Amino acid sequence: MTTEQDRRTLAVVINPSKFDDVDAAKATVADGARRAGWDEPLWFETSIEDAGTAAAHSALDADADLVCAMGGDGTVRAVAAVLRGTSVPYGLLPSGTGNLLARNLGLPINSLEDAVEVALLGQDHAIDVGTATFDDGEERVFVVMGGVGLDAEIMDKTDDDLKKKVGWGAYVAASAPALLKGGFEATLSIDGEPEDPQKCLMVLACNCSSVVANIELATGAVLDDGDLELVMLRPNVVAGWVGVAIDVATGNRNGLASLKQWSGREFEFSLDGPVLAELDGDPVGETTSGRFGVDPGALIVRLPVPTPKSPGLSRAEALEPETDDAAESD
């Protein structure tokens, strides 16, 4: 029997544009909360002007025991930026096409009811948060990827209406004009160690391996190891895009490969001209220099019990709850 003392508060940051029937989606969440013995959910909507930052702050101000994001990758990133460094658990209720973080965590993608159950009854697990600083000096966060070049151009040119109709195919359609652009020269520093300048098409910092269409681009990247994987796409005049596809499939990332990869915690870069940047699929303007870093274990997410094997996790233990003895010793 659930007592008033046992009841808990769920706050949901929702992007209403992602749903054909917002009321029905809210009812599904509310039904799940009642079954689990939680209070009626508190709702905070995003807007065209704000992807979820203000709504997430309002959720925290409401002293929520759990904050959920119910929207696309942009909403997920905005809420993560606010919850970063707090002890408030983060539940993902996937919507839209991408759902990149949820996919890498092995969370339910096609059933809102199942996702609600995981968020309310699951276990807590700490994951890393990526940080990015560009020419404007503002530190931003990402949970899946941050990059400059081809990836940003594709995201910028992807038609949202087409994405709703054909899913990942919209990214393929957007890649054609992006590929016509020439590359750029990038000078990198990996954890303070400089690399020689290289001609490339893309520099991408990955917090997990699968960053688009379930393709494992950053081999071995996981969300809970305290590192990022930096992937550089270089022109391959001999093998072209066939060579890139082979390198992706085989995990070849060095030598003569089209893709080169480094592990580390801090990556600095300077470019020979302004190049478009993106974070978790959202273009953020052009930059000529920047830094990617990682905040290890800074975000507490809700995972299923038991946690299934997923591409984005190296370990699946729940966070150890604080014991009474430990609490008394503080």
Q: Residue 252: what pLDDT?
A: 60
Q: Residue 168: what pLDDT?
A: 43
Euclidean distance between CA atoms 61 and 53, whole angstroms:
12
Query: pLDDT tens digits for 134-152?
Result: 999 999 999 999 999 988 8
Q: Residue 322: what pLDDT?
A: 43
Greatest CA span in the chain, whole angstroms?
69
Question: For each successive 10 residues of the chain (330 residues), what is the average pLDDT?
Answer: 65 94 97 96 95 96 97 95 97 87 92 96 97 97 95 70 46 50 89 95 92 76 96 68 53 66 97 96 94 98 88 63 41
Euclidean distance between CA atoms 147 and 1, whole angstroms:
50
- Residues contacting residue 245 through CB under 8 Å, at least 6 positions apart: none
Helix or strand (DSSP H, E) at 10 = strand 10-14
Q: Residue 309: what pLDDT?
A: 78
Q: Residue 157: what pLDDT?
A: 64
**Sign of the alpha-carbon dihedral angle for 214, 140, 292, 149:** positive
Return the closest-CA partner of residue 265 out of 303, 296, 312, 227.
227
**Residue 130: strand, helix, or coil:** strand
Domains in the chain with CATH codes: 10-121 (3.40.50.10330), 131-294 (2.60.200.40)
Is residue 268 a contact partner of residue 290, using CB atoms and an 8 Å limit? yes
Ordered DSSP codes for 260-279: EEEEESEEEEEEEEEEEEEE
Q: Residue 154: what pLDDT?
A: 80
Query: pLDDT tens digits for 18-62?
Result: 998 999 999 999 999 999 999 999 999 999 999 999 999 999 999
User: What type of residue sits at position 44?
Assistant: F
Q: Residue 248: what pLDDT?
A: 56
Supply the pTM of this predicted model: 0.85
Q: Residue 204: what pLDDT?
A: 95
